[in-house]
Every structure is written in structure tokens, then in C-alpha cells.
Amino acid sequence: MGEISCEVRFGRYGGRFVPETLVQPLVELAEAFERLRADPGFLGELSKLMRTFAGRPTPLYRAENLSRALGRTVYLKREDLLHGGAHKINNTLGQGLLARYMKKKRLIAETGAGQHGVATAIVGALLGFETEIYMGEVDIERQRMNVFRMELLGARVIPVRSGSRTLKDAINEALRDWAANYESTHYLLGTVAGPHPYPSMVREFQRVIGDETRSQILAEEKRLPDSIVACVGGGSNAMGIFTSFLEDDVRLIAVEAGGKGPSRGGRSAEHGASLGLGEPGVLHGAMTKVLQDPYGQILESYSIAAGLDYPGVGPELAHLAETGRVKTVMAKDETAIMGFKALSKLEGIIPALESAHAVGYAIEHPEMLGELSVINISGRGDKDLHTVMAHESV
Amino acid sequence: MNLSDTFRRCKPLIVYICAGDPSPDQTVEIAERIIRAGADVLELGLPHSDPIADGPVIQSASQRAIASGMNTDLYFDIASRIEGVPKVFMGYYNMVYRRGLERFASDCRSSGICGMIVPDLPIEESHPLREAANRHGIDLINMIAPNTPDKRIREIVSLSSGFVYLVARAGVTGASDDLQESTKHLIDRVPPVIPRAVGFGISRPEHAAELIRAGADGVIIGSACVDLIGRNELDQLEDLIRRMKRAMTKVRVKSTVAIQRS
């Protein structure tokens, strides 16, 4: 892991806006993370699991057909090949091991589409934790397969009936559980959002994506790429691949869910573009960019890709977008579907609908990529087949 | 009317209700009934879509209130129409931040609110709001939890005005059957240089009495009342407050007698 310290704030974003009961657990977590990230035993164990269990390193694949179609060289970082089918396992292995070193007995996590829930359940089974996953009732209906998957892996899925009964409320419920049970329980948050130390801790567990990409592209091309494209929901795959290139002359493009368009009606937005269309505010313990109404009530977001359907975003991304270091763009549902199909046909790779936002954007805006680009394929698309089939039949 | 005077005069019963639940129109009437029944301080909640410190009862009330059209403008309008006891704002930081800290504190002042409780604003993050509150003569009330270390308790107390809010147990708001020993221990751990009011999980007159006996300077009751409001049992609500207040006053008489004898 890198040398960047575990920051509390990123410009005006970040921080720890939580009830007093959660301050001490977060302090203990930050201390444990600071200690263990320099501990050779911990790091050795983690890197062994990453290699032998999760399937790292993942290939950086030169996508010849896509490159030809776009008239430039495009590589794909193949996080879709990891165990569990997405980059999520990088973080759940890291935090799961951390929780074991902290002598916790139980893992709790939130999940939207179920990918982070599955990745947590995998690690719970591997490391012998009691595992409970909070999932909105609406999402449980939409993602029955992942619910069954989590249960097979020995986790208990707890339906969340409060609020909008989706991811945002599942996070609220996990925070409430943790406030009552922190002595025995680790809250395994799935993205670079939430209170300190989660944004920097999850980034450090995910930056293996960018560290590998950097040495792989240097080995193949003898130079850094002109651009890196990643989708952003909470932002963990984007921060994972961007972090290793922040100091370089590489254009970092964050593709948010444009959904059906930039409008909102009532208590819901028609998109998930917190960076592009949100405003500063506090959600889930951090100051960040948030989709909210003029009074500060959080809006429900929307995307065809459940993993991008979140009304907040990691605070470090909010900061990097504000300073201009990360370029923020949007891809609508239609663009994602196009990217999903195009990558399947051109390269024989079915990307997750989340990653398909990055692919679709790259196909529609090849001029933004430069001569040499890397697209982060954060997950595989098997989980999305029913969504795309339903979309086709409409 | 300010909080210091109230705590000098008595060991107050502080009653939380969620503004706008079940509808903005009914909040003033409900507040008046609560005050008539004996509440010494009204903690008026501004509902938020994502109340992470609250249990199911207050979550539901917040959802009902938002659905019935509650917003921050209406909140201050309602607050200014309630009279008779000190009023304290309770609400999440995003609602305050979104309006602007200065404007929010100023609106509190002009609607007769004398204190603010912001449960997701620990001391590290509270400096800007504290400054704004100070400029308008509003107390920013800090919370102390059972797991707050002693050193941090001293820091929190040194930054506090009005009173400190002792969180009776880990977790979120919501009625419970028993008081934990750790709650009484927490009262002892907080130096009595500022009034110490205890909330979270208090639902019965005997809880209130026990806390006063353990040294609490005030008692906060929320979910138990909100639950009755949600079921439209307003007579029972008044009755609960009367019984709570009576239980607390009885203890006080006893301890005063004890002091006189000694």
C-alpha cells in the first residue's frame, strides 16, 4: 500500500459527521488501519489472499477490436475476472482481515445490487465471521439471485423497510446496528464514502487496481496512458484506479450515471450524478456532493446500474472533481446498454452495467481518450442479464 | 426564557416531538398539550430523510412529517407559534448546513429557540456552527455517549453551554424496558459543572425517577411520546408526561429533604 496517510479531509470534503456513539469505534478503526497498513504480517497475509483466493493480479488486456473501432489504443483493466465477479473483493478481503486482527466476531455490510453483499459474504465465510447484510426491501425484490447467493455463503440478509428501502437506507441501518454493537462487530462499508477513515481506508485497499495498471501499462507500452476511464457510484473502483496516477499527466475521467436525464421529480432524481449535479452536504457521515432538495432532504437516485444508484459519492472524488483533477462526465442508461452490447460483441467480454457506463462513454467520445487509454472494467455483467433482457422487451 | 434559568429552577422534563408529524397544522396543538401536561423544555425535531441516530419510531415520524409537507420554513413558523417553555431545535447537520449556518442560527433566535441539538455533529466538526450559534445567543448542546472516553468528556464539557445530552445507551433512539447500570455510571463520569440531561431509551416514570436519583439534572423523553402521537393517543401522551413529571418531582422533594437534614 502507498505512503499517503489516512486523511480525514479532502479540501472542504470528508470529515466525520456521526453520532457521538460512533466516534470511538471510528477512532479505533482508524488506529487499527494505520497500524496494520505498515504491519508486514497483515500485508503478507492480505497479498497472499489477493493472489491465491481473489485472483490477483488481474490482466490489463489490449482490446484490439475496440481499439480499431475507436482509432486509438484502448486497454481494459479486467477486475471482472476477480472472484465474486467484481473489484469489491479487494476491499472486503482487506477489511475482513482487519476485522479479524481487531478481534471482531461479526461483520455487517450494506448492499444495493448485492455485489458488495456477496463480496462480504465470501470473506465472512472465508474468515469465519457471523455475517449480516442490510439490503433494502426494494433491492431484495430486484436482486433475488444475489440474495440467494449471500445466503448460500452463510450470510443473513436483513431487509430494510425504512425510507426509500434501497441502498441509502441500508447504509443508515448498518450505521445504526454498528452504533449498538461495535464492540463485537465491524462495519464493512463497501465504498470510498462514509465517515473517516472509510474513504481513505477503502481507497488504500482498492488502489491495487491502479498500482497494477501502472506497472502493466509501463511494461507493455513503455509509457503512461493519456487517459483512464472509470464509472462512479460511490467511487471505489474509480479511486482504486485513479489514485496511482494523481500526480501524473493522465486525464482521469469519472463517468457517472446519467440515468434518464438530468432532471428530478418530487423526492427522486432521474440520475445518480452526485459529482456533476449534486451540491455540498452531509450524507452517511461525510461532507461530500449530494443529491438533495433545497431544504437538505436527500433525494433518491436512479440508474439502470444498481451499483451507480447512490445519491452521494466519495468525498475525495468530490474534492478531485472540484479542483479539476478528475473530469466528471455522465452516461445515460442508453449509453450504458450500448457499451454493454458493444464490448460483448467486439471483445467477447460482457461487462457489468456499471462498467458499461465507462465503455459507452469512451465509445461515444473517443476524442476524450487521447492516443492511449485504459478503461476499468470493474465487474462482469452476468448479474445484469435480466435487467438488459427486461430493457430490450420494453 | 433560557436553558440555564430552567435548570436552576428545576430538574426539567425535556420532551421531544417531530415537527410536522402527523401534519404541520397539528404540531402546535400537540406541543401546547405537552406543555400543559408539564414539559419544562420542548425539543422540536426537524425531520430529515436520513436520521442515522434514530430508531424506527422517530424514523417513521420523520417520514410521515416529510410526506405531509414539512420543511424548514414551516418549521420556524411552527416554532414561533409555540410559547410557554424554552424550545430547543433538534435536527441533522445537512438540514442546518443547507440553509446556511448563520441564517439557521438567526432563524432559531427569531422564532424563540434557545438551543440546538445536532446529533451527527461531534465536537471536531462543530466549530463553524458553534460560532454562528454564539453570535445569535443560541446554546449548541453536545452529546456524550457511554463509550466517550473521560478525556473527551472533559473536552466536550468545556465546549458546552446550556446543558450536555447524555446518551443513555449505545445505539439509536427508542424506548426500552430497563435502564442500564452504565447509564448511571455515565452521569458520575460527567463533571457537574454544566447541567446533565439524560436521553435515549427513557420511556417510563420509574426510569425518570431513577435517573434523577442517580444525579441527572434533567430527563429527555422522545420515542415514547412520538409513538403515542403516531397512534393519535394524545390523552395518553398527556398522561405519560404528567406521570413522568410527578415521578421526577417526588424524587426531588426527597433529596431536598435529605439535604436539609444533613
Average pLDDT for chain A = 95
Cell of B122: 461531534
- For chains A and B, CB pairs below 8 A equal 118
- The reply to whether A282 touches chain B by the CB within 8 Å rule is yes
User: What integer pLDDT is reported at residue B66 of this predicted model?
Assistant: 96
Sort B223 into a burial class: Cβ within 10 Å, 0-12 / 13-18 / 19+.
buried
What local confidence, expressed as pLDDT, does residue B255 receive? 52
Annotated active-site residue A88? The verdict is yes
Write the secondary structure of chain B as one string of H (helix), E (strand) and C (coil).
Answer: CCHHHHHHHCCCEEEEEECCCCCHHHHHHHHHHHHHHCCCEEEEECCCCCCCCCCHHHHHHHHHHHHCCCCHHHHHHHHHCCCCCCEEEECCHHHHHHHCHHHHHHHHHHCCEEEEECCCCCHHHCHHHHHHHHHCCCEEECEECCCCCHHHHHHHHHCCCCCEEEECCCCCCCCCCCCCHHHHHHHHHCCCCCCEEEECCCCCHHHHHHHHHCCCCEEEECHHHHHHHHCCCHHHHHHHHHHHHHHHHHHHHHHHHHHHHC
The single residue of B43, B139, B210, B227 carrying the catalytic annotation is B43
User: Chain A: nearest CA to B121, how far in angstroms?
Assistant: 5
Q: How big is the CA angle at A57 (ends A51 and A58), to the nearest 5 degrees? A: 125
For residue A15, the chain B residues in CB contact (below 8 A) are 124-125
A-chain residues near B180 (CB < 8 A): none
Q: Which of A21, A172, A176 sits opposite B147 (nearest CB)?
A: A21
Chain B residues with CB under 8 Å of A21 CB are 53, 145-147, 167, 170-171
Share of chain A above pLDDT 90, in %: 91
Chain A within 8 Å of B249 (Cβ-Cβ)? no
Model pLDDT for residues B40-98, shown as the tens digit of each residue: 999 999 999 999 999 999 999 999 999 999 999 999 999 999 999 999 999 999 999 99
Question: Closest to B125 (Cβ–Cβ): which among A16, A175, A298?
Answer: A16
Tell me which residues of chain A, numbers 207 to 266, contact chain B at a CB-CB cutoff of 8 Å. none
Residue of B nearest to A266 (CA): B67
Please tell me the pTM assigned to this model.
0.95
Report the share of chain B in percent with pLDDT over 90: 86
**B192-226: pLDDT as tens digits:** 999 999 998 899 999 999 999 999 999 999 999 99
Task: Give the residue-averaged pLDDT of A258-283.
Answer: 91
Chain A CB within 8 Å of residue B124 CB: yes
Decide if B131 is catalytic: no
Give the Å distances, CA to CA, from A115 to A139, A167, A196, A368: 12, 12, 23, 30
A162 contacts chain B (CB < 8 A)? yes
- Asked if B54 is an active-site residue, the reply is yes
B230 touches chain A (CB under 8 A): no
Q: Mind telling me how many Å the CA of B3 is from chain A's nearest CA? A: 22
Q: Which of A123-127, A224-228, A353-357, B178-182 has the lowest mean pLDDT?
A: B178-182
pLDDT band at B252 (very low <50, low <70, confident <90, very high): low
Q: At which residue does the C-alpha cell 426510569 appear? A: B207
The verdict on a CB contact (< 8 Å) between B94 and A283 is yes
Identify all chain A residues contacting B56, using CB atoms and an 8 Å cutoff. 162
pLDDT score, position B211: 94
Put simply, whether A284 touches B (Cβ < 8 Å) is: yes
Which pLDDT does position B254 carry in this prediction? 55
Residue type, A188: L
pLDDT computed for residue B183 by the predictor: 87
